[in-house]
Structure 1
């Protein structure tokens, strides 16, 4: 069973093209329908709660500008995917905030693709955007780094036709396993990608701190689970430096990123611990660290 409906956030950010090509890659692999979504940024709650005057000419002008910007972001979306061989394509312009609007569409999808927020805030999306889509949609989210090259996976001729290029991300997958229900959900959602990978590394960091959860042989149960799907994996067990008099563990997120660099993986699968969008902190520390410093795509589930 693969990803049959893929939602991708499209905007005017420079790295939006990389997201679109990621969606095309996965759609070609899984025979998926792709929905490109551009949002105006105007919350739907303004309309529902009658907080705005529908007859205000200034509001109408402002909305027209925002809708035109969203339509401009989607210009060429469908023709580009058609040229790449993806023929089941849909475009939507929504009056809503990016995170909330995309989350609603993603509730009826198998995968949502969004971009990493640049560290200097150049993107129109807030830094918490990937986290909000994840926690509010019930859908796994693929976060594409803002440094991703638009043609990193599919090579496109000057005529706009797909040709053989570099392997699509997901050839070597690093699975972050901490024996939590979030990690289990992430592995389950990633099975279509894991089944196609050339190499899988199961990363377990500080497993000694939770022996009951990890079992006598950390990773053995996960490996057996994957093996029943015809999937094999290697394991990497690491321990962070213990700090202070109480020997507290070090930064797991940094350790995970370091391991990703060492292994040369091109995709990380991560179970994300999180709260509702109305809490002060959307995601746990490890997830935030990875989202801020990631250089390869990250598939998250919650």
Structure 2
């Protein structure tokens, strides 16, 4: 099992170059096809006044600026993919809102690569809530790259956060191709029960045996019980020199927006390394 199609968000931002480079590294390692997707940002249905256009109706204003911006982002993507030596990649322009465009394409990729929102920005800005919105509606796991920092590689030293929940299982399953190639995998069980009230496998022994059957040998570690779970995971990731954190993402729909679980919210806001996350 390996990744065969990876989709990366190309938006022309200063952070996009590193995001594309990490996605290209994964594509090279797994002999995968890399798709760079740039959305124009204009919903395929919405008019400027917020109303809904009849299907097939033309938009009543010039869209050339939006297309020009997306084209520039795709040129950046193609240049980076070519420099990395990728033989199978495509630049894809999508006339849609950024979140909807990524969500609609997610079933046709094995992994999505997005950037973290700006931790200093307004939480309600579209790009700052993008990882959260896509996470909870995507058909696939996300690899989220921090807004700040330099990351030369991903997946050599991996930390896996585990609490036995469905989200953690999905994240772990999505990470298996990367875990098989890792030089070291550290597993950290959480003392929290999963979403169905079952206590997680605290020692992690059964999961370690399962991963060993996949050819993945793990080192067990413990979280600092006195710290917030998100902060403790990020601190442990630093202690073990991890370049990738794998974990479940938690949240529920309330009052027309996603309310994040504490660890998910903390990691999405304060991440210091790439995070592979699934809901």
TM-superposition CA deviations, 1:196-235 (whole Å, max 9, x none): 11111111233599995234x6201110110111111011
Give the corresponding residue for 1:54: 58
Q: C-alpha offsets along residues 19-59 of structure 1, whole Å, 9 cap, x if unaligned?
A: 11011100100011111011121122317931797363xx2
SS at structure 2 position matched to 1:231: coil
Q: Which residues in structure 2 correspond to 1:1-302 (within 5 Å)?
A: 1-46=1-46, 49-50=52-53, 54=58, 56=60, 59-60=61-62, 63-121=63-121, 125-149=126-150, 152-153=151-152, 168-206=153-191, 213-215=199-201, 218-241=203-226, 251-275=228-252, 279-302=256-279
Q: Per the alignment, do residues 277 and 112 of structure 1 end up closer, same or farther by CA in structure 2, a change over 3 Å counting?
A: farther
For residues 76-97 of structure 1, the C-alpha deviation after alignment (integer angstroms, 9 at most, x for no partner) is 4224312322111111111211
| Paired positions, count | 273
Distance 2:259 2:110 in 1: 22
Q: Structure 1 stretch 71-80 or stretch 132-141: which is displaced more?
A: 71-80
Secondary structure at 1:213 match in 2: coil
Query: 1:177–1:136: structure 2 CA closer, same or farther, 3 Å change rule?
Result: same
Distance 1:4 1:75 in 2: 23
SS at structure 1 position matched to 2:3: coil
Quote the Cα distance in structure 2 between the aligned partners of 1:277 and 1:267: 30
Post-superposition offset of 1:6: 0.5
Q: Which residue in the other structure is 1:158 paired with?
A: none
> Which consecutive unaligned segments of at least 5 residues does structure 2 have?
none
In the other structure, the counterpart of 1:247 is none
Contact 2:164 2:194 in 1 (8 A): no
| Structure-2 change in CA distance of 1:125 and 1:279 (3 Å) | closer
Structure 1: segments with no counterpart, 5+ residues: 154-167, 242-249
**Alignment partner of 2:222: what SS?**
strand
Deviation of the 1:239 alpha carbon: 4.6
Which secondary structure does the structure 1 equivalent of 2:185 belong to? strand
CA contact (8 A) 2:165 2:194 kept: no
